[in-house]
Structure 1
Amino acid sequence: MTNQQPELPLHWLPEVIDFNAELASIFATANPRDRWEALVALSGRRLDFIQTIKLDRALSKLETLLDVPASARMKVALIGSSTLDHLIPGIRIGALRRGLLVEAWLAPYGQWRQEILDSTSGLQAFKPDAVLLSIEATALVPELPLDTSAEEVAAVINTKVDEIVALWRVVKEQLGATLIQQTVLSTATPIFGHFERLVPASRGSVAAHFDFKLVDAAAKESVLLLDLRTAALSVGCQTMTNLMLWHHAKQEIAPTATPWVGDQIGRILAATRGLSKKLLVLDLDNTLWGGVIGDDGLEGIVLGQGSATGEAYVAFQRYVKSLSERGVILAVSSKNETAIVEAAFNDHPEMVLRQSDIAALEASWGDKPTALRKIARDLNVGLDSLVFFDDNPVERDLMRQTLPMVAVPEVPEAVERYIACLGDAGYFEAVAFTGDDRQRTTQYKANSRRRELEASTTDLEGYLRSLEMRLTVSSFAPVDVPRITQLINKTNQFNVTTRRYSEAEVTSIMSNPNALSFAARLDDCFGSNGIISIVFGHLITRDNVCVFDIDTWLMSCRVLGRSVESALLAVVASTTRRAGAERMIGHYRPTSKNMIVQDLFPRLGFTAVEGPPLRDETIWEYDLNGMSEEAPNYFSLAVDLEPV
Structure 2
Amino acid sequence: MEQLAWLPTHPELGAAITAARKLPEAPARLAEAVRLAGFRRDFTATGRIDKLAQAARQEGAAGGLTPLRLAILASHTVDHLVPAVRVGGLGRRVALDVHVAPYGQYRQALLGEDPMLAEFAPQLILLALDAMDSRIELPLDAGDADVAGAVAARIEELRALWRRAKARYGAQVVQQTLVAAEPQLFGSFEALVPASPYAVTERLNTAIRAAAREEGVLLLDIAWQAARAGLAAGFADPVRWHQAKQVVSPVLAPFYGEALAAICGAVAGTARKCLVLDLDNTLWGGVIGDDGLDGIKLGQGNATGEAFLAMQRYAAALGRRGIILAVCSKNTEAVAEDAFANHPEMALKRGDIACFVANWNDKAGNLRHIAKTLNIGLDSLVFVDDNPAEREIIRRELPEVAVPELPEDVANYPEIIAAAAYFETATFTADDAARGRSYALNAERAAALEQATDLAGYLRSLAMTMVAKPVDSGDLPRATQLINKTNQFNLTTRRYTEADTQRFASDPDSVMLSLRLRDRFGDNGLISVIIARPDPALAPGEMLIDTWLMSCRVLGRQVEEATLGVLAEQAARRGATALVGEYRPSAKNGMVAGHYEKLGFQRMNPPEGAETGATFWRYDISAVQAPDHFIEVEAA
TM-score by length of 1: 0.95
- Whether the aligned pair in 2 keeps the contact of 1:514 and 1:540 (CA below 8 Å) is no
Partner of 2:100: 106
Instruction: Write the deviation string for residues 329-365 of structure 1: whole angstroms up to 9, x where unpaired.
Output: 1111111111221121121122111111111111111
Determine if the alignment matches structure 1 residue 124 to structure 2 residue 121: no
Counterpart in 2 of 1:49? 43
1:429-488 CA-partner distances (Å, limit 9, x unpaired): 111111111112221111111111112224222221111111111100111111101110
Deviation at residue 163 of structure 1 after TM alignment: 0.5
Aligned-residue offset at 1:541 = 5.0
| Cα distance in 2 between the residues matched to 1:222 and 1:514 | 26
Structure 1 gaps of 5+ residues are 1-6
Q: How far off its partner does 1:70 sit? A: 7.9
Aligned equivalents of 1:74, 1:31: Cα separation in 2 = 24
Residues 338 and 608 of structure 1: CA distance in aligned 2, closer, same or farther (over 3 Å):
same
1:237 aligns with 2:232: yes
1:632 to 618, 628, 632: 628
Q: CA deviation at 1:543?
A: 6.3
Question: In the alignment, residue 456 of structure 2 is paired with which amino acid?
Answer: E
The one-letter code of the counterpart of 2:452 is T
Identity level (%): 42
For residue 601 of structure 2, the aligned residue among 606, 609, 623 is 606
**Aligned mate of 2:286, from 291, 295, 314:** 291
Aligned pair partner of 2:259 in 259, 264, 279 = 264
CA contact (8 A) 1:71 1:500 kept: no
Q: 1:425/1:602 Cα in 2 relative to 1: closer, same or farther (>3 Å)?
A: same
Matched, 1:360 2:351: no
SS of 2:195's equivalent in the other structure is coil
The SS at the match of 1:79 is strand
Alignment of 1:295-334 (within 5 A): 295-334=290-329
Query: Does residue 1:409 correspond to 2:408, yes or no?
Result: no
What corresponds to 1:623 in structure 2?
A: 620
Q: Offset at 1:608?
A: 2.1
Shift of 1:306: 1.9
CA distance in 2, matches of 1:246, 1:159: 26
Deviates more, 1:59-68 or 1:524-533: 59-68
Amino acid corresponding to residue 169 of structure 1 in structure 2: R
Question: C-alpha distance in 2, partners of 1:12/1:254?
Answer: 21
Q: How big is the shift at 1:226?
A: 0.2
Residue aligning to 1:136: 130
* Residues 1:544 and 1:391: Cα distance change in structure 2 (over 3 Å): closer
Among 561, 564, 568, which residue is 2:563 paired with? 568
1:335-484 matches, within 5 Å, as 335-484=330-479
Q: Deviations over 1:565-617 (max 9, x none)?
A: 11111111122122111221221111110001111112212222225774131
Is the deviation greater in 511-520 or in 46-55? 511-520
Q: Secondary structure at the match of 1:115?
A: helix
* 1:212 maps onto 2:206 in alignment: yes
The one-letter code of the counterpart of 1:618 is: T
Shift of 1:544: 5.6
RMSD: 1.7
Amino acid at match of 2:270: L
Equivalent of 1:533, from 508, 513, 528? 528
Measured in 2, the distance between the counterparts of 1:390 and 1:273 equals 28
1:225 aligns with 2:222: no
Partner-residue secondary structure (3-state), 2:400: coil
Amino acid at match of 1:162: E
Give the SS at the match of 1:300.
Answer: coil
Structure 1 CA distance, aligned partners of 2:572 and 2:511?
12
Deviation above 6 Å: which 4+ runs of structure 1? none
TM-score of the pair, normalised by structure 2: 0.97
Aligned residues: 633
Letter in 2 for 1:326: R
Distance 1:32 1:513, change over 3 A: farther
Distance 1:259 1:307 in 2: 37
1:72-127 CA deviation, whole Å, 9 max, x = no partner? 01110010110110110110001111111111101011000000012444222211
Separation (CA, whole Å) in 1 of partners of 2:569 and 2:621: 8
Check whether the contact 2:427–2:477 (CA below 8 A) recurs between aligned residues.
yes
Query: How far did 1:26 drift?
Result: 3.0
Q: Secondary structure at the match of 1:298?
A: coil
Q: Which runs of 5+ in 2 are unaligned?
A: none
